[in-house]
Amino acid sequence: MALQVEKSRISNPIDFDRNGRQAGYLRAPLSRNTSGWGVVEIPIISVKNGSGPTILLTGGIHGDEYEGPIAISRLARTLDPARVQGRVIMIPAYNIPAVLNDTRLSPVDNRDMNRCFPGNPKGTFSEMLAHFLDGYILPLADVSVDLHTAGHSGDSAPSTNMHYLPDPAMRKKTMEAAAAFGAPYNTVFWGVDEGATFTSCVERRGAISLGTELGGWGRVNVEGVRIGRRGVDNILKHFGVVEGKPETAQRDGSAGTRHMMVRDPACYSFAPAGGLFEPTNLVGEEVKAGQPAGWVHFVEDVDRDPIQVNYHRDGVLWMSAGPGRVARGDTIAVVMSDYDDKLAAG
Contact residues for Ca ion (CB under 5 A)?
Answer: 62, 148
Closest separation in Å from C-beta 335 to Ca ion: 19
Closest separation in Å from C-beta 70 to Ca ion: 15
Closest separation in Å from C-beta 123 to Ca ion: 21
The CA-CA-CA angle for residues 305, 287, 265, to 5°, reads: 85
Closest separation in Å from C-beta 146 to Ca ion: 9
Closest separation in Å from C-beta 315 to Ca ion: 21
Q: Which amino acid is present at 99?
A: V
Q: Which amino acid is present at 248?
A: T
Q: Quick one: 148 or 152, whose CB is closer to Ca ion?
A: 148
H or E segment to which residue 105 belongs: none
Beta bridge partners of 39: 29
Q: Quick one: 113 or 241, whose CB is closer to Ca ion?
A: 113
Whole-number Å distance between alpha carbons of 302 and 289? 30
3-state DSSP assignment of residue 146: strand
Task: Measure Cα distances from 149 to 5, 63, 226 in Å.
Answer: 31, 10, 14
Q: Quick one: 104 or 313, whose CB is closer to Ca ion?
A: 104
List CB contacts of 80: < 8 A, sequence separation 6 or more. Answer: none
Q: Quick one: 46 or 197, whose CB is closer to Ca ion?
A: 197
Q: Quick one: 242 or 319, whose CB is closer to Ca ion?
A: 319
Greatest Cα pair distance, the chain, in angstroms, is 70
Residue nearest to Ca ion (CB): 148
